[in-house]
Structure 1
């Protein structure tokens, strides 16, 4: 993977990642398409209305819904979806955490029951990669042991040790595949765990770096119950330790404020279901903060959702119409609202990149916060 740092403004970074299916410029927000589909949108929308260069799909869900052999025969996610740009796939560790009542963790991997039909399955560091090879992910995540917070130091230490062990097995397996001339364009990211404990975050990061040449490093296990200031401190612990010449990805963390604070601390890549989930529940992001479009005050509001937004929805429809669609429970609402919220997030990181290149990131962040306060 070709990775280049284009500019640094204090700790904030603008970088370029060359993947097999697209060039990704960071900071970047990656829309979440869990089932190889962003809810309410199709490939045309993603490419032409959002211009997203990379999106997510989930290994756990694609494994249960399609399976490894089917995805091999189909030719991977790009052919399956018609989205010819890049995919990042999560390993399933988060689903094991969120569906914990159906799951047991062992030293060897994760045993779980399907939330669809109750069938039993077992994820290992190796077979999770096999599924991701079948998906032909541009970026693959190692299997990790994710836990909620607060948690005991003993449990967090166990999470770090297990995640390190699984990462070791993952990198060894991936290098073996590459020695057979397989997986050459499937890039592997390690995941740093450690809760909000500085010593354990340090242990996790250093242990992973010592394992070998991962293509990038993710920061996992945040936004799972800790306070925002604890999250930001944990990000600082990790970014200070990670290799400068590798991408840094903060997993599943997602308010606009969270993203700006993480960019300031040296993070490059982001994903979160928040823009689409909030859209479906009537919360829309604007340059002046969030609005609840179901409120009756928007019934006759002929303004666009956000006068500063260049999305398809804002160019063509009023708040009044979007309010009407929501109140009528029309499917079209979900499409238009999701386009707007995702475009907001994509623009947020795109503008952050421009500010970093111009040496004005702190000024950009300050202006965003000041505008939020106006609503």
Structure 2
């Protein structure tokens, strides 16, 4: 794996290039990783993957937890790893021990010898030695070390414990790993700025190729998130890529880009599609009026349409275009302008949607 930053905009927002040995071309960042179930993207059959923009869509996020049922890691290893088993030789895999199919308030228990996860086969304890063995068998391009993620409402003592435990697991995973060149060190700390910074400093001192920033999307507010993100990225090495999970909404992704994040998960589009909606906001987010931003579709809000009333499903294409627009804005040195106009347009749409809802409610009362 090789990574290089090519452009900066308005402080910390950055555009880079990530190169993986088996991918057909460089992956430009900020980039969206496609979430998967056992290595295959949600709602997209393998034969339709080539229809997505290339190589933007050639990095898939996989959870090793999904393989705790079905084929054993040793069987996957005998087949030749995830690429050969799935028949996707031109795609890269990033393994993160987080289950995108569920929203678990607290992923890890207080057990001191391993991480405890809720899975489809019950709550299981995963020790670092077990986890590294799974990774070695799957052979992903990138993998994040075990992390003790905690929600925003835990005590300060629990936050400190999660950082200590995550750093300890990091050292154990590195010591056990035979593929140290692809490891991303995990960073946690909950909603405590000081613990976030402490964890980032500890991880930055280790021999890792990049960073996975966890613990977001677990109860923190939009207002407190920038400080938490910046506390981490301010102390990380600039030449190494940063991957984050839990920042799904467009506004949240823009917060991450502002803090210098390079790679994002796609759980948001999975849940939107699962709920029966399609995204309709302009991916460019600029040079649009409120009326253009709020097309007249049937749905619960004006930035989505109801898939049950339509014949098309384009969420993955749509969000990939959104990230392409972000990269173009960074390279043009106009990311702040892009972000500001995008958010203003979203707010204008929300206002119009609220006005229409009130009007319809008044009509209903009259009837």
TM category (shorter chain) comes to: 0.7 to 0.9
Sort the Cα spacing of 1:233 and 1:295 in 2 relative to 1 into closer, same or farther, 3 A: same
- For structure 2, the residue ranges without an aligned partner over 5 or more in a row are 283-292, 350-367
1:106-185 to 2 correspondence within 5 Å? 106-111=111-116, 115-116=120-121, 118=122, 121-174=124-177, 177=178, 183=179
Sort the Cα spacing of 1:239 and 1:297 in 2 relative to 1 into closer, same or farther, 3 A: closer
Sort the Cα spacing of 1:93 and 1:33 in 2 relative to 1 into closer, same or farther, 3 A: closer
1:314 match: none
Sort the Cα spacing of 1:342 and 1:167 in 2 relative to 1 into closer, same or farther, 3 A: same
2:257 counterpart (246, 252, 263): 263
1:56-67 to 2 correspondence within 5 Å? 56-67=61-72
Name the SS for the 2:62 alignment partner.
strand
Sort the Cα spacing of 1:366 and 1:264 in 2 relative to 1 into closer, same or farther, 3 A: same
The answer to whether the 8 A contact 1:145-1:160 is kept is: yes
- For structure 1, the residue ranges without an aligned partner over 5 or more in a row are 178-182, 299-304, 307-318, 326-332
In 1, Cα distance between equivalents of 2:214 and 2:340: 27
In 1, Cα distance between equivalents of 2:254 and 2:163: 27
Return the offset for 1:280.
2.2
Name the SS for the 1:3 alignment partner.
strand
Sort the Cα spacing of 1:93 and 1:61 in 2 relative to 1 into closer, same or farther, 3 A: closer
1:199 match: 194
Sort the Cα spacing of 1:72 and 1:3 in 2 relative to 1 into closer, same or farther, 3 A: same
1:3-22 to 2 correspondence within 5 Å? 3-9=3-9, 10-22=11-23
2:227 counterpart (220, 223, 233): 233
Cα deviation digits, residues 244-287 of structure 1 (max 9, x gap)? 11001111320000001210111111003110221121332222
The answer to whether the 8 A contact 2:229-2:259 is kept is: yes
Return the offset for 1:297.
11
1:276 match: 270
In 1, Cα distance between equivalents of 2:329 and 2:45: 31
Return the offset for 1:50.
4.3
In 2, Cα distance between equivalents of 1:146 and 1:360: 34
1:1-375 to 2 correspondence within 5 Å? 1-9=1-9, 10-22=11-23, 23-51=26-54, 52-83=57-88, 84-92=90-98, 98=104, 104-111=109-116, 115-116=120-121, 118=122, 121-174=124-177, 177=178, 183=179, 187-210=182-205, 212-287=206-281, 295=299, 322-324=307-309, 336-337=312-313, 340-375=314-349
Return the offset for 1:121.
4.7
The answer to whether the 8 A contact 1:201-1:237 is kept is: yes
In 2, Cα distance between equivalents of 1:93 and 1:297: 28
In 2, Cα distance between equivalents of 1:296 and 1:108: 46
The answer to whether the 8 A contact 1:239-1:266 is kept is: yes
Number of corresponding residues:
333
In 2, Cα distance between equivalents of 1:267 and 1:253: 11
Name the SS for the 1:32 alignment partner.
strand
Return the offset for 1:96.
10
2:290 match: none
In 2, Cα distance between equivalents of 1:344 and 1:96: 23
In 1, Cα distance between equivalents of 2:328 and 2:322: 10
In 2, Cα distance between equivalents of 1:275 and 1:362: 24
Sort the Cα spacing of 1:297 and 1:213 in 2 relative to 1 into closer, same or farther, 3 A: closer
In 2, Cα distance between equivalents of 1:24 and 1:368: 24
Return the offset for 1:368.
1.9
In the superposition, the TM-score normalised over structure 1's length comes to 0.80
Return the offset for 1:39.
2.1
In 2, Cα distance between equivalents of 1:228 and 1:191: 22
In 2, Cα distance between equivalents of 1:291 and 1:104: 46
In 1, Cα distance between equivalents of 2:27 and 2:130: 28
The answer to whether the 8 A contact 2:204-2:235 is kept is: no
Runs of 4+ more than 6 Å apart: 93-97, 289-293
Name the SS for the 2:211 alignment partner.
strand
**Greater percentage in helix:** 1
Name the SS for the 1:229 alignment partner.
coil
In the superposition, the TM-score normalised over structure 2's length comes to 0.82
Name the SS for the 1:254 alignment partner.
coil
